[in-house]
Structure 1
Amino acid sequence: MNSEEKKVSYQTTNSYSTLNQLTDKTKNVWLVFHGIGYLSRYFIRLFENMNKEENYFIAPQAPSKYYKGEDYRRVGSSWLTKENTTAETENVLRYVDAIVENEKILKQTNFIVLGYSQGVSIASRWIASRKIKCNAYIMISGGFPKELHKEDFDFLTHTTKITHIVGAEDPYFEIEKVEAEKERVKQILPQIQFKTHPGGHELNLESIKAIL
């Protein structure tokens, strides 16, 4: 058997979702990354109760889609797997770059990056590789990429508000592992604050509002 794996580059198109309008009254622009199993148009609805005049949300769409369940009716998506991760990561990051360029975000607004669950890995890598000086970075119920180090975030100032939120009843996070992860991430992002909410593996809007 003479099998060989090759690579080819090509142009592709992907969607993304927005919520509210970007105007001169907008105070906060949010770039929000969903977790595994979501589609961006459903994930972005979780932010509908935020002030519509002050907040504009942009939700990128993970490129890999699949059917959820055996009835083949509901569709979910995933950002990355362990297969060909390096190349796939760069593809995703270039896609995020294209979104930000297309949106022409107003410079006078606060720029907030939020990653939920698997979205934390994409948001963290994008901030680190593109040296994104956001006003705030919120991580929710997600693991921080193992390959990132303190020097990857040296460009951030002490004024960048960084928060990790996890549900007290989150079944995916054992307390011992959470404490160990806290210590590791604290070494990388010294200004990070750790918060909890009373729920499980979910995005809790009240805990997000309390940060701002």
Structure 2
Amino acid sequence: MPAQEHHLPVTRTARYFQLGTLSAHTTQVWIVCHGYGQLAAYFIRHFAHLTDADPTLVVIAPEGLSRFYLQGTNGRIGATWMTREDRLAEIEDYVAYLNQLAESILAHVPSDVRLTVLGFSQGAATVSRWLAHSPFRPAHLILWAGVFPPDMDLTVANNLLQHLPITLVCGDEDEFIKPTDLAYQRTLLQQMGAEPEVISFAGKHSLNAAVLRQLHGLGH
């Protein structure tokens, strides 16, 4: 007789990092999700120059719920949002986590705050799936060196993408995203009713300070 698979919802502690102070003076909140094998504490450092220049900006970097050693059984540690194993349950878990985090954050800022959501690499699919099941829509969605998940239900995807400003960002020497991949991604989003802006920069699979400053300026 084969083993029976069951699921048991449990409470666990999630970790996130923050730059800036949430207050009545906050005009912009960025929620930024890291890529596979990264940690939020290091990922958020790329945004420090934005909050240093703009005290009305707050950046929140949640961390994936699963951590692992990047090589062997010691040394550097990274986090992931999900794997293919029990993927639907992992997606449900991080969607619930990000919804709870966003609700907590937005309760401390004015109701008209401008919310930007950025997903880098694996984080791009993560934020897309999350926003498809969130009670709010951001002012701007940035998918950086990652893709909108092609397996998302078309009706859900269309509802999310209608009238949502989207920017696709990728380095011209990205090891994982080729120009043809970026073009396909743009076409896919257009077929779903979106008209994404595409920004390319000289670089590899990484964030870029100048582009981040450009994107931050769009919120003013």
TM-score by length of 2: 0.88
Q: Map Cα deviations across residues 106-162 of structure 1 (whole Å, 9 max, x no partner).
A: 21211111100000111101111225321111110002111233653436663x421
1:121 aligns with 2:121: no
Q: Secondary structure at the match of 1:81?
A: coil
Aligned-partner residue type, residue 149 of structure 2: P
The answer for the alignment partner of 2:113 in structure 1 is: 109
Deviation at 1:179, TM superposition (A): 2.1
The answer for the alignment partner of 1:176 in structure 2 is 180
Percent of matched pairs sharing the same residue: 29
Identify the residue that residue 67 of structure 1 maps to in structure 2. Answer: 69
Where does 1:44-193 land on structure 2 (aligned, <5 Å)?
Answer: 44-50=44-50, 51-70=53-72, 72-103=74-105, 104-106=107-109, 107-148=111-152, 149=154, 151-154=156-159, 158=163, 160-193=164-197
Once the two structures are TM-superposed, the CA of residue 86 in structure 1 deviates from its matched residue by 1.1
Q: Distance in 2 between matches of 1:129 and 1:192?
A: 21
* SS of match in other structure, 1:48: helix
Kept in 2, the 8 Å contact 1:30–1:112? The answer is yes
Measure, in 2, the Cα distance between the counterparts of 1:97 and 1:72. Answer: 32
Secondary structure of residue in 2 paired with 1:129: coil
C-alpha deviations, 1:79-130, integer Å up to 9, x for none? 0111111111001110111111222242121111110000011110111122
Unaligned runs of 5+ in 1: none
Q: Which consecutive residues of structure 2, in runs of 5 or more, have no partner in the other structure? A: none
What is the CA-CA distance between 1:182 and the residue it aligns to?
A: 2.0
Higher-helix-fraction structure: 2
Whether the 8 Å CA contact 1:150–1:188 is kept in 2: the answer is no
- 1:57-77: per-residue Cα shift (whole Å, max 9, x none)? 111110110012247121101
TM-score (norm: length of structure 1):
0.91
Distance in 1 of aligned mates of 2:16 and 2:29: 15
**Which position in structure 1 is the counterpart of 2:9?**
9
Answer whether contact 1:119 1:142 (CA < 8 A) is retained: yes
